[in-house]
Amino acid sequence: MPKISIVVPCYNEQDSLPLFYSETKAILPGTDCDYEFLFVDDGSADETLAVLRQLAGQDSRVTYLSFSRNFGKEAAIYAGLCNADGDYVAVMDADLQDPPSLLPQMIALLESGDYDNVATRRRNRKGEPPIRSWFARRFYQLINRISDTDMVDGARDFRLMRREMAEAIVSMSEYNRFSKGIFSWVGFRTCWLSYDNVERAAGETKWSFWKLLKYAVDGIINFSQAPLSIASWGGMLMTLVSFLMLIIIIVRRLIFGDPVAGWASTICVIIFIGGLQLFCLGVMGQYIAKTYMETKHRPHFIIAETNRSDTRRIR
C-alpha cells in the first residue's frame, strides 16, 4: 500500500486547521493508501502550534515541524518536501482553498502510471478583487514570454507527486524560491486538474497587493534574464540614436549656422537618460542582490520543535 505524505504550510491558521484536518481525514480512508500529515508551522504568532500539538496527541498520523520564526510559505514547502518520506507527496494549503475532495482522483491518476504528478489550477478567480486578477493575468503573459520555464495561469501549489519528483525539487536548493517555476522546471509528466475557485474557510489571506507584486517581480528575476538583456539592448539603441542626433546637430551648425538653443529640452533629455540609467542599474542591482543572498548559503529554515524523530532541523 503506497503511503502519502501531506505537506501543509501553516501560518496563523489556528481557525482553519481543525476544519482542514477533519475534512481531509474524512476523505483519505476512502482511498487505498496509507497516509501521514506533515504540518509545517511557519513561525505562527497565534495558537497554531498548540493546535498542532493537540492534533498530534490524538492522532499518530499527525506530525509537525515548527519553525523558529516566519520563513515564508516557500521555505515551509521546502521543509515539508525535505522531510516527507511517503511514496507520494501532496502539498496543500491549510485554509481549504485546495479541496481535499480532489485527492482520490489525484491518487487514481498517479496510480494509473501515466503521470508523475497531478497539478491543479483554478478555472476562474471568483471572489477575488478584479484589479488583482487583472495584474495576475498580465504577470503570466509577461513571464511566459520572457522565461523558458512554462508557468500556467491560475496554477496552485496544490499538487500530488511521486517521491522522485519531490526529490528533484529538494535538489534545487536555491535560496530564492519560486515554487510555480520550480515545479515546472523539474519537468516530469504532469496532469492538470481544474476546479472552481474556493474561498478560504477561516482566517484571512497573508497576501497583500504589494506582497504579491514583490512575489511577481521575484518570479521574473528568478526565472528570466530578459530584464538584463532589455537594459543592454535599450542602452545600445539610445547610444545609436544620440550618435545620429549629434551628426544632425553638427551638420545643421555647419550648413545653417544655427545658434545653440533649447536649454529646457536639453535638461529634459539629461534627466530622462539619467533616470533610465538609474533604472537599469536598479535592475542589475536586483540580480546582484539575489546572487549575494545565494552565495551566503544561509539555511532555508530552522526547526525549533517537531514530533518527528528523523528530522533535519536546519537546512
Which residue ranges make up the site for Mg ion (CB under 5 A)? Answer: 93, 95, 97, 200
Contact 67, 302 (CB under 8 A): yes
Say which entry of ligand UDP, Mg ion, none residue 53 contacts (CB below 5 to 8 A, set by partner kind). Answer: none
Q: What part of residues 202-221 is at the interface with ligand UDP (CB under 6 A)?
A: 205-207
Say which entry of Mg ion, ligand UDP, none residue 13 contacts (CB below 5 to 8 A, set by partner kind). Answer: ligand UDP
Contact 221, 290 (CB under 8 A): yes
Minimum distance from CB of 71 to Mg ion (Å)?
18
One-letter-per-residue 3-state SS of 157-221? EEEEEEHHHHHHHHHCCCCCCCHHHHHHHCCCCEEEEEECCCCCCCCCCCCCHHHHHHHHHHHHH
Single out the segment in contact with ligand UDP by CB under 6 A; choices: 92-100, 111-119, 262-270, 278-286: 92-100
Q: Is 17 in the site for ligand UDP (CB under 6 A)?
A: no
- Residue 251's H or E segment, with its range, is helix 226-256
Strand-by-strand arrangement of the 190-195 sheet: 190-195, 117-122, 155-162, 88-91, 3-10, 34-41, 62-67, 303-306
Say which entry of ligand UDP, Mg ion, none residue 73 contacts (CB below 5 to 8 A, set by partner kind). Answer: ligand UDP
- For residue 289, give the C-alpha cell: 542582490
Say which entry of Mg ion, ligand UDP, none residue 72 contacts (CB below 5 to 8 A, set by partner kind). Answer: ligand UDP
Residue from 5, 6, 7, 9 touching ligand UDP (CB under 6 A): that is: 9
Contact 161, 167 (CB under 8 A): no
Say which entry of Mg ion, ligand UDP, none residue 207 contacts (CB below 5 to 8 A, set by partner kind). Answer: ligand UDP
Count of residues that bind ligand UDP according to CB under 6 A: 17
Q: Is 181 in the site for ligand UDP (CB under 6 A)?
A: no
Dist. CA 77–CA 209, nearest whole Å: 22
Minimum distance from CB of 260 to ligand UDP (Å)?
58
Minimum distance from CB of 98 to Mg ion (Å)?
8
